[in-house]
Amino acid sequence: MHTVHRSPKSPRTSTVVVVVTTIAVLASCGGTSATTASTSLTTPPSIDVRTGAVASSIATTVVPTTTSTMQTTTSESTAGCTGGSSVVPGGASSKQIVDVDGDGKPDTAWIITEPSGVTTVGVATAAGGGTERTWESASPVMRSFLVVRINDATPPLFLADDGRTVQLWAFNECQIVDVTNVQGDNYTFSLGFTDFGTGVGCGSIDGTNQLLGLNVIGDSAGTVDWTATVVAVTGTEARNGAVTDGTFTSPADDVAIALLRTLACGDQTIDQDGISAPQ
Q: pLDDT by residue (tens digit) across 166-176?
A: 999 999 999 99
**Torsion 197-236-13-25 (CA) sign:** negative
Where do the domains of the chain lie? 25-60+78-276
For 21-51, give one letter per residue: b (16+ CB within 10 A) or e: eebbbbbbbbbbbbbebebebeebbbbbbbb
- The reported pLDDT for the residue numbered 275 is 98
In a 13 Å sphere around the CA of 5, the CA atoms on its Cβ side amount to: 13
What pLDDT is stored for residue 78 in this prediction? Answer: 64
Per-residue model confidence as pLDDT tens digits over 25-34: 223 333 333 3
Confidence of residue 137 (pLDDT cuts 50, 70, 90): very high
**Average pLDDT, integer, range 133-146:** 95
pLDDT at 203: 87
Could you tell me what percent of the chain has a pLDDT over 70?
72
pTM: 0.76
| Cα distances (Å, whole numbers) of residue 180 to 185, 211, 229, 231 | 5, 14, 17, 12
The whole-number pLDDT of residue 207 equals 86
Of the candidates 118, 148, 147, 123, which has an alpha carbon nearest to the alpha carbon of residue 135?
118
Q: Is residue 132 scored above 60 in pLDDT?
A: yes
Per-residue pLDDT reduced to its tens digit, 43-83: 333 444 443 333 222 222 222 222 333 333 223 346 799 99
